[in-house]
Amino acid sequence: MLPLTGERTGPGIWHENYWFRRHEAAYLAALSLTRGRRVLEAGCGEGYGAALLRDDGADVVAVDLDARTLAHARREYGLVCVQANLVSLPFADATFDTVVSLQTIEHLWDQPGFVAECARVLTAHGLLLLTTPNRLTFSPDSVPGTPPTNPFHSRELDARELAELLGDRFDVVQLAAVSHGPRIAEHELGHGDIVSAQLTTPADQWDETLASLVTGVDATDFTVTTSDVEAGLDLFVVAERRP
C-alpha cells in the first residue's frame, strides 16, 4: 500500500471508500470515450483508474511524477508507466487519441502549461477528459486568488474558470458534474453533509450510521449529470482539441 497522505486515495481502505468510489464513478463515465483508443492518463496516482481503462479496452500509458507511486502502479496493475512532469510530457506531438486526467489539475502550479501539453500530444480532434473538485462546493468559503485550504492543491476551479482555462486550445463538448445519487442524498437529509462528517471527525470515532454508509458506498451511489453543474461535487469536462 502507498501511504495515505491526503493527496490521493486508493481501493481497499474502509474509511477512504467514499472518496475511492466517487473517483471510480468518473472513470466509469469515461469508459465509452476511451475504449479502443490510445490513451494517456496524466497523473495516474495509485493506478486503479488506468487499470480500469486498460481492462475495458483502451491502450493506456500512465504518467506520474512520483517514482514510488509509479513503482506501485507497475507492480499492482502491470501498467505501462512513464515518470514525467505533466507540463513537460516526453511524447511526440499527436501521439494520443485521448488524454484522461482525473482529480489532478488542481494540484498543478502551471495549469495553462498542462493544458497546452495535453493539446500538443493529442491528435486533431482528440479528446481531453478531465475532472477536478468544484471550488464552489469543495471550498465554499474560499476567496479566488488565495491559496486553497487543501495543502496539496495549487488552484481550485469552478465551472466557468475551468471552461476559460481550456478555451484557448479546446472546444468544450460536455460540462457535467459528479453528484450524490439518491441513497447518499437521502442519508444527508437526516444526518447532514457526509463530506463534512468524514473530514471533521477521525474515522475511528465515526458513529455506526456513518461508518456503515461509507463502507457500503459504491460507484452507483454517484451520478454524472449535466444538470445543476454549479452544485456538483466534481466537475467533469469532455473537450475536443482544435485542429
Residue 186 confidence (pLDDT): 95
State the maximum Cα–Cα separation within the chain, in Å, rounded to a whole number.
Answer: 54
The pTM of the full predicted model, rounded to 2 decimals, is 0.94
Residue 177 confidence (pLDDT): 97
Residue 146 confidence (pLDDT): 81
Task: Walk me through the domains of the chain, giving residue ranges and CATH numbers.
Answer: 14-241 (3.40.50.150)
134, 176 in Cβ contact below 8 A? no
Residue 47 confidence (pLDDT): 96
Angle at 177 between CA 31 and CA 112, to 5 degrees: 85
Which segments in the chain show pLDDT lower than 70?
A: none
Residue 131 confidence (pLDDT): 98
C-alpha cell at 17: 471508500
